[in-house]
Amino acid sequence: MEKIQSPAIDLGVMATLHKRFPGVPIRKPRWAEGEIKDEFVKMKVGDIVLFPVSDYNYNTLRGTAIHSLLELTMEGRRWSTTLDRSNKSCAVIRIS
């Protein structure tokens, strides 16, 4: 079975997020491959996951941390989202 090739990632989003969160060790972004909640849970601090806007609802991405992952949020985990026009995606970074 042949694996489907993910589109190349424009790394400009890394510079944008580094400026917004200078104390966070920024890692190379990767494309989301599963459910939103699962992607958020497995992220480590500095991980960037790109959710293509054609496949994921932006408002759902923005609300996932507070609505679906309240327990993890209460433990101190935090995420931030930003639109990444160059990759036609919503970039999510775990910041704590």
Is there a domain that residue 7 lies in?
no
Any domain includes 4: no
Backbone angles phi, psi at 80, to 5 degrees: -135, 145
Counting the structural domains of the chain, the total is 1
Helix, strand, coil distribution of the chain in percent, nearest 5: 35, 20, 45
Given a cut of 90, whether residue 46 has pLDDT beyond it is yes
Question: Is residue 88 in some structural domain?
Answer: yes
Note whether residue 2 is domain-resident.
no
Predicted local confidence at residue 54, as pLDDT = 92
Q: What is the pLDDT of residues 50-91, one digit of tens each?
A: 999 999 988 888 888 778 888 888 899 999 999 999 999 999
* Nearest one of 84, 74, 3 to 48, comparing CA atoms: 84
Task: Identify whether 58 is part of a domain.
Answer: yes
Question: For residue 34, is it within any domain?
Answer: yes
pLDDT at 30 over 60: yes
- Domain span at residue 76 reads 12-94
